Structure 1
Amino acid sequence: MSTTPRFIAVLDVGKTNVKVVVHDLGTGEDVFVRTRPNAVVDAPPYPHFDVEGMWTFFLDTLKEASSSQRIDALSFTTHGATFALLAGDRLALPILDYEFHGPDALEGDYLVARPSFAESFTPRLPGGLNAGAQIFWQARTFPDAFAKVTAILPYPQYWAFRFTGILASERTSLGVHTDLWAPEKRGYSSFAKAEGWSRLFAPLCSAFDRLGTVTAEIAARTGLSSDTPVYCGIHDSNASLLPHLLGRQPPFTVLSTGTWVIVLAVGGDASALDARRDGLCNVDAFGNPVPSARFMGGREFDLLTGGRPQKPTQDDIRAVIDGGVMVRPTFVPGCGPFPDGKGEWSTDPASLPGGVRTAAVSLYLALVARAAMAVAGAAGPIIIEGPFGRDALFAEALQRLTKRQVAIASGTTGTSTGAAMLALGQGGRPNLPPDRPVGGVFNLSGLESYAERWAG
């Protein structure tokens, strides 16, 4: 095996889909991609992720990939708000689905115990979106099981543990709206210390660290070489950010898109952060705070298009702007820059042609993205990562609304690309195809007045 990893197999756990991607660091291309839906098991003791189903998918897919493709190393990236509670080498409790609202039952006690926004830069989010709220609820609701917990692992490092047997924690997952981390102090929050959890977190490692190699059992099951190195792993939005941190000068803004749209304002102004409007700080792969904001854009796109989007024509777009067809926020209550909004259409969406309906949704999401960028104090050019990069209307509308340059990031899976780049090390320089510029496709005249009416 080459001493310099080139072909990195990334195990990418998104909230909606789970992927295995083999990324070629030499060309910047994904040379192998397999995807499956991410299932939630709605069964006692609470809704939880189907980790054994994912485990089988990972092993089977790695076997398929390694039969035809060189694999030099493994890396991991996952969605946030997810931690594994281990008792020895097994789960003490199932890995809780963060959309489950069980933790809200202890809301009063949690509000007293959690740290201030000034310390954690974490807004109080619904359900289990604050990982601290999950663990707080699990510890009090299942005391016998929690008493057996020997280690707490962030989700990427749980998967790294499954492949290596090595325990680790990492800052990007600890620092993403958890209440468990103090970004400016670069350490565990007073809350995590007071609860005694800081002693349970696995040893702190860098996302770039080579934890070890795959176990003999994994090598036999997948066909991977027994000396295949395994990297620590990273939170997915921070994975999307990493290529830009390695290759750009701030200020700039990255929109990491998927189920969630995360605004990452590198070099931005944190003074505008508003906890009530989903403003927060992420922590990047180097341990630095990054002013951020978020909304559930991918989920809203699916809801609002009825799962049947249709590529809009220019006539469809004119029908939306000239006819004042509008979507007003928000259809995922309690999060984003309009958390109290009661989502509504100006026109019955069932009466709209598919292209008109989709155009209205794309313009709506561009308006919400602009608002989220204001919350994050975003500055500089905008780079769109992930599925929203395929929505040309969203991208061009965002450029016109913000009057800032927008580009589409190269590659098909920004999270996987970033996770693969952990193998380059902290001083690595990514080899990426150029970004794709935006603009000149649509006639968006009147969009500014449309936006004013929308805001009013």
Structure 2
Amino acid sequence: MTEVIAVFDIGKTNKKILLFDSNFKVVKQHEEKFPVITDDDGFECDDIDLITSWISKSLEEIVAGDEFDLKGVNFSTYGASLMFLDENGHRLTPVYNYLKEVSASIAEDLFAKYGGKNEFCRKTASPALGLLLNSGIQTLWLKQEKPDVYNKAKSVLHFPQYLSYTLSNEIVSEPTSIGCHTFMWDFDQMKYHQWIADNKIALPEPINNDVVFLADVAGKEVKVGTGIHDSSASLVPYLKASPAKFILVSTGTWCINMNPYNEEPLTASELEQDCLCFLTPNKEQVKSSRLFMGHFHEVWAEKLAKHFDVPGDSFKTVKNDEKLVADLLNKYGDTSVYFPNGKESFDEGLKVVDLSVFANYEEAYTKLMIDLTALCITSINLAVPENDETEILYVSGGFARNPIFIELLKKSFPAKKVLISEIDNSSALGAAMVISDTLSEADVAKLDLGIQE
């Protein structure tokens, strides 16, 4: 039988189980979509009972079969959702949706007591998001809105740790969940922020993600991981297998640039420019910046297609024409056509840009990519410290397939290797890798980062 680690990769839309062998190859994968339910306020949320029942049944099937020898289980999930347990370890609440809006006064009171909004957000490396996305707010919201429930709570777990708890019965915290826009972690002191103790919130001290617990899973002794926040999990394969220090440029609807080698404290200015910090599985800071690049691209690509009367996906066939790029750079210099006053002028650009200045679709789209890449470079540079030791830019996601984007990045970062890296299921892979010691033959050196130069 093949030794495997099972990872449950729980996203908002899709829930997957993946089995990884000792070479970190996926040997089996299954995906489910579960209907959502509503919480006690009528707001949409995940059906936690359905999810945990599916997890149990899936593990029972693996153990009962004769194909795989289950050695470890871990969880990679979205963050920003908390679970409250009573003195008997029973769940008190639904898994509240992190998009749920709560009264702004809760956060404002917190800011007022602890140094003002700018300093509090800087210290916790958390933009004020106005929702339960700042998961620490959920504790204060529950205390204010549902005191009867809150007063019964003896333990508070982030979502990945709750799923782990359903198997291990261990109440733990870990760096990746508490370090990501939660308002809970003081990055200056590298410990829980003072307001947690002042409010007597029952958060366990964080342990590193490579800790495992022996648990009985369907009658078999299996090692269970702590669970890990999916954003941090996607960084793990690079932390384990990259030959040199790097920045990961993860592109999609959001372009998120992650630098695990930037120890500089977050500044108020960086926070205003959409930067934040989170933690690696070893409790080290990751400076991160983000840009709504995929969304900007999608809206403008549709507008260009209509104007030039071409199919909506015509951008997929536009090649990197070096002469055209050079001509456009000579003509416009650093002036952006599509974003006349930076990324904040996206809506303004949609109204004022005169597309008739371009001879054809290829020219208009190439200039769009020049302008978008310039915004992205500014965003990447926010994650680069003064004494930069990174040697590689890994580019993953949708824009890794855009030749104009990749060539412009190479020109802008001549001292770094710009490498396209396509890793399927990177969050699930990271969750498997942090507990890879559960497999007797696991070898990080065998990991394929999917590199294309």
Which TM-score bucket, shorter chain as reference?
A: 0.7 to 0.9
Alignment of 1:274-423 (within 5 A): 274-295=270-291, 312-314=316-318, 328=339, 338=343, 342=347, 345=350, 346=353, 366-377=373-384, 380=390, 381-386=392-397, 389=400, 394-403=405-414, 404-423=416-435
Distance 1:107 1:301, change over 3 A: farther
Distance 1:196 1:43, change over 3 A: closer
**SS of alignment partner, residue 91 of structure 1:** coil
Indicate if the aligned counterparts of 1:154 and 1:170 stay in contact, CA closer than 8 A: no
Partner residue, 2:306 = none
Indicate if the aligned counterparts of 2:394 and 2:418 stay in contact, CA closer than 8 A: yes
Aligned residue identity for 2:376: A
Distance 1:191 1:23, change over 3 A: same
Distance 1:214 1:429, change over 3 A: same
Partner residue, 1:244 = 238
Residue 120 of structure 1 and its aligned partner are, at CA, apart by 1.9
Could you tell which deviates more after superposition, 180-189 or 357-366?
Answer: 357-366
Distance, in Å, in 1 between the alignment partners of 2:297 and 2:89 is: 39
TM-score (norm 1): 0.75
Distance, in Å, in 1 between the alignment partners of 2:184 and 2:280 is: 15
* 2:444 matches 1:432: no
* 2:175 matches 1:171: yes
Indicate if the aligned counterparts of 1:180 and 1:188 stay in contact, CA closer than 8 A: yes
Partner residue, 2:144 = 140
Residue 140 of structure 1 and its aligned partner are, at CA, apart by 1.1
Partner residue, 2:78 = 79
Residue 421 of structure 1 and its aligned partner are, at CA, apart by 0.8
Partner residue, 2:229 = 235
Residue 92 of structure 1 and its aligned partner are, at CA, apart by 2.0
**SS of alignment partner, residue 125 of structure 1:** coil
**SS of alignment partner, residue 246 of structure 1:** helix
Residue 384 of structure 1 and its aligned partner are, at CA, apart by 2.9
Indicate if the aligned counterparts of 2:73 and 2:225 stay in contact, CA closer than 8 A: yes
Residue 151 of structure 1 and its aligned partner are, at CA, apart by 0.7
Aligned residue identity for 2:160: P
**SS of alignment partner, residue 234 of structure 2:** helix
**SS of alignment partner, residue 75 of structure 1:** strand
**SS of alignment partner, residue 221 of structure 2:** coil
Distance, in Å, in 2 between the alignment partners of 1:372 and 1:287 is: 24
- For residues 81-137 of structure 1, the C-alpha deviation after alignment (integer angstroms, 9 at most, x for no partner) is 222222243332222222222243534323324562453222222322211223222
Distance 1:188 1:315, change over 3 A: closer
Distance 1:104 1:186, change over 3 A: same
Q: Alpha carbon RMSD of aligned pairs, Å?
A: 4.0
Could you tell which deviates more after superposition, 262-271 or 412-421?
Answer: 262-271
The one of the two structures with greater contact order (alpha-carbon pairs below 8 A, sep at least 6) is 2
Aligned residue identity for 2:112: V
* 2:53 matches 1:49: no
| Structure 2: gaps spanning 5 or more residues | 303-311
Aligned residue identity for 2:433: M
Residue 70 of structure 1 and its aligned partner are, at CA, apart by 3.9
Indicate if the aligned counterparts of 1:20 and 1:62 stay in contact, CA closer than 8 A: no
Indicate if the aligned counterparts of 2:338 and 2:346 stay in contact, CA closer than 8 A: no
| Structure 1: gaps spanning 5 or more residues | 220-224, 331-336, 439-456
- Aligned partner (choices 257, 260, 285) of residue 263 of structure 1: 257
**SS of alignment partner, residue 72 of structure 1:** strand
- Aligned partner (choices 21, 28, 32) of residue 28 of structure 2: 32
Residue 269 of structure 1 and its aligned partner are, at CA, apart by 5.8
Aligned residues: 413
Distance, in Å, in 1 between the alignment partners of 2:315 and 2:55 is: 33
Aligned residue identity for 2:190: R
Distance, in Å, in 2 between the alignment partners of 1:358 and 1:434 is: 30
Partner residue, 2:307 = none
Distance 1:272 1:93, change over 3 A: closer
% identical aligned pairs: 22
- For residues 311-346 of structure 1, the C-alpha deviation after alignment (integer angstroms, 9 at most, x for no partner) is 61126989x97799976599xxxxxx9568647534
- For residues 220-242 of structure 1, the C-alpha deviation after alignment (integer angstroms, 9 at most, x for no partner) is xxxxx621211112221221222
Partner residue, 1:453 = none
